[in-house]
């Protein structure tokens, strides 16, 4: 039976969480765990940050939640202004939700509504990539190239076209590193033409693939190349930065590194740092204009959209990240963290690739570096390493199936942005020990 979530632990035997402090969590027996993956790349400021807790408490004392479609609020307005600013002014509107799946679902709906407002009702089709993960709602799941998580729901998903993953470590057949971007852009254009430009609404991708690929940054030039193809054929470009965005990669938007602004951007996870669930869909002015002109509002949103206390949490998290210069710390320390991790794992021939950007790092495990052949799925190597690390007090994020949907083992590390140098060293040492133990077994 395929696990629904890549934790590697049966939910019947989980320890009971008691408290958190900074980069550490404690169970009810007092055992301490270093949060080396920020849970699933969520905890941007660690746990129990006193300023964030104080901001939430103050908001709760005033009012926990004012229904978004009756009231605005100061936290919502200030967070919206902050998001517009940190994304460089490239977005006009923000639609809030509870998590990344909702943010992606709203992105799909906004794209469809955009073309409906323009009278282009045939543009209903989405194109996404293999080895991608976009969320648990049926729409977000439909655009996810993650076989294990789709299998139980096949037959009820949207009809979506998939193109190749943008993975420089595992090149498409007949492709070289030098021709990869050209190959992928051509493949996307061919797929748009095959479906029909008058039928394609949007292309959806993760600038740095998370769970489905094990932290795979797109190659240089890729984002600009696919954006040019999308604009040529009146196809919207949706960037899913739920896992890689909100500063995780060292720039607030992961695509800032590529000099590209998407038409629609989905964010969550690090936005409110896990203090209260919060996601957001950011919408460019050109996408918004026909919707506002024709419909007057976005036809997406939920009961708890723009939850007041959640916005207060997100605003507090973002203020601290900016005040404390944490994005600059990620840019500088992230490179040395990755180098130290690579050095610590260098003696293991089974460690094929250490990659990523900032505090978002993936380790891919293979039979040998020379062949890059994955282990058989039954071995469950990434989960074995994850269990051993967890027993030793390190939380990492094991994933499987990154090669062909079944085989492939990766480990994700995504520490809090304010993790200390000593904590980063502890993450590396404990992951290396768990890797050695699992490979020896």
Do 355 and 274 fall within a single domain? Answer: no
Would 38 be classed as within a structural domain? yes
For residue 3, being part of any structural domain is answered with no
> Residue 1 above 50 pLDDT?
no
Residues 165-190 have pLDDT tens digits of 999 999 998 899 999 999 999 999 99
Structural domain of 427: 11-48+325-440
Same domain, residue pair 316 and 329: no
* Mean pLDDT, residues 280-306: 97
Task: Please give the tally of structural domains in the chain.
Answer: 2
4 pLDDT higher than 60: no
* Domain shared by 223 and 249, yes or no: yes
Based on the domain organization, do 221 and 363 belong to the same domain? Answer: no
Q: What is the mean pLDDT of the chain?
A: 96
Q: Both 302 and 335 in a single domain?
A: no
> Tell me, what CATH number does 397's domain have?
3.90.1150.10
Whether the per-residue pLDDT at 11 is higher than 90: the answer is: no
Residue 6 lies in a domain: no
Contact 261, 284 (CB under 8 A): yes
pLDDT of res. 401: 94
267 and 390 belong to one structural domain = no
CATH of the domain at 130: 3.40.640.10
Phi/psi of residue 413, each to 5°?
A: -115, 135
Query: Quick one: pLDDT at residue 12?
Result: 73
SS3 for the chain, per residue?
CCCCCCCCCCHHHCCCEEEEEECEEEECCCCEEEECCHHHHCCCCCECCHHHHHHHHHHHHHCCCCCCCCCCCHHHHHHHHHHHHHCCCCCCEEEEECCHHHHHHHHHHHHHHHHHHCCCCCCCEEEEEECCCCCCCHHHHHCCECHHHHHHHCCCCCCEEEECCCCCCCCCCCCCHHHHHHHHHHHHHHHHHHHCCCCEEEEEECCEECCCCCCEECCCCHHHHHHHHHHHCCCEEEEECCCCCCCCCCCCCHHHHHCCCCCEEEECHHHCCCCCCCEEEEECHHHHHHHHHHCCCCCCCCCCCCCHHHHHHHHHHHHHHHHCCHHHHHHHHHHHHHHHHHHHCCCCCCEEEEEEECCEEEEEECCCCCCCCCCCHHHCHHHHHHHHHHHCCEECEEEECCCCCCCCEEEEECCCCCCCHHHHHHHHHHHHHHHHHHHHC
Whole-angstrom distance, CA of residue 148 vs CA of residue 134: 14
The residue out of 323, 348, 376 marking a domain boundary is 323
Domain boundary among the residues 308, 323, 338 is at 323
Asked whether residue 5 is assigned to any structural domain, the reply reads no
**Is 232 domain-assigned?**
yes
Structure confidence at residue 13 (pLDDT): 86
Q: Which two tokens stand for residue 157?
A: 């998903």
Q: Residue 109: which of 290, 264, 310, 228 has the closest Cα?
A: 264
Domain finish residue from 270, 295, 323? 323
Separation CA 170–CA 158 (nearest Å): 28
Same domain, 337 and 432: yes
Question: Taking 80 as the threshold, does the pLDDT of residue 5 lie above it?
Answer: no
Q: Is residue 424 part of a domain?
A: yes
Residues 362 and 298 in one domain: no
pLDDT band at 6 (very low <50, low <70, confident <90, very high): very low
Report pLDDT for 148.
87
Instruction: Answer yes or no: do 335 and 366 share one domain.
Output: yes
Local confidence band at 2 (pLDDT 50, 70, 90 cut-offs): very low
What proportion of the chain, given as a percentage, has pLDDT over 70?
98
Give the pLDDT band of residue 7 (cuts 50, 70, 90).
Answer: very low
Q: Is residue 304 part of a domain?
A: yes
* 86-116 residue pLDDT tens: 999 999 999 999 999 999 999 999 999 999 9
Q: Within this chain, do residues 300 and 375 fall inside the same structural domain, yes or no?
A: no
| Shared-domain flag, residues 198 and 263 | yes
pLDDT, tens digit (0-9, with 9 covering 90-100), for 258-272: 999 999 999 999 999
At 204-213, the pLDDT tens digits run: 999 999 999 9
Same domain? 142 vs 155 = yes
* pLDDT value for 10: 59
Kindly state whether residue 175 falls inside one of the protein's structural domains: yes
Mean pLDDT of 403-410: 95
């Amino acid at each position: 039976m395929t696990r629904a979530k890549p934790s590697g632990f049966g939910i019947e035997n989980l320890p009971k969480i008691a408290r958190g402090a900074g980069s550490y969590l404690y169970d009810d027996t007092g055992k301490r765990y270093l949060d080396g993956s920020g849970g699933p790349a969520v905890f941007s400021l660690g746990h129990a940050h006193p300023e964030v807790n104080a901001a939430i408490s103050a908001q709760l004392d005033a009012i926990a939640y004012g229904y978004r479609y009756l009231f605005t609020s100061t936290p919502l307005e200030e967070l919206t202004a902050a998001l517009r600013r940190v994304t460089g002014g490239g977005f006009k509107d923000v639609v809030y939700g509870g998590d990344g799946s909702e943010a992606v679902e709203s992105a799909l709906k906004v794209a469809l509504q955009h073309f409906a407002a323009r009278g282009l009702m045939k543009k209903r089709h989405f194109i996404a990539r293999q080895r991608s993960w976009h969320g648990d709602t049926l729409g977000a799941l439909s655009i996810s190239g993650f076989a294990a998580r789709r299998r139980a729901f096949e037959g009820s998903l949207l009809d979506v076209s998939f193109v190749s993953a943008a993975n420089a470590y595992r090149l498409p057949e007949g492709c070289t590193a030098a021709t990869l971007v050209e190959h992928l852009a051509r493949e996307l254009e061919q797929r748009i033409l095959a479906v029909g430009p008058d039928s394609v609404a949007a292309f959806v991708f993760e600038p740095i693939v998370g769970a489905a690929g094990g932290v795979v940054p797109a190659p240089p030039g890729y984002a600009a190349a696919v954006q040019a193809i999308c604009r040529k054929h009146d196809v919207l470009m949706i960037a899913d930065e739920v896992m890689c965005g909100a500063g995780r990669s060292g720039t607030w938007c992961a695509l800032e590194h590529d000099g590209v602004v998407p038409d629609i951007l989905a964010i969550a996870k690090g936005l409110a740092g896990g203090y209260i669930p919060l996601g957001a869909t950011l919408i460019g002015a050109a996408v918004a204009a026909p919707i506002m002109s024709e419909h007057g509002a976005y036809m997406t949103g939920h009961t708890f959209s723009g939850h007041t206390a959640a916005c207060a949490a997100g605003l507090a998290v973002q203020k601290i990240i900016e005040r404390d210069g944490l994005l600059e710390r990620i840019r500088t320390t992230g490179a040395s963290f990755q180098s130290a991790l690579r050095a610590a794992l260098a003696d293991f021939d089974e460690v094929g690739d250490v990659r990523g950007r900032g505090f978002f790092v993936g380790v891919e495990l293979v039979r040998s570096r020379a062949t890059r052949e994955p282990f058989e799925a039954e071995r469950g190597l990434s989960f074995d390493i994850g269990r051993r690390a967890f027993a030793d007090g390190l939380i990492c994020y094991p994933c499987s199936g990154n090669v062909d949907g079944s085989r492939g083992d990766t480990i994700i590390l995504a520490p809090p942005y304010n993790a200390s140098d000593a904590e980063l060293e502890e993450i590396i040492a404990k992951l290396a020990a768990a890797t050695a133990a699992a490979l020896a077994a």
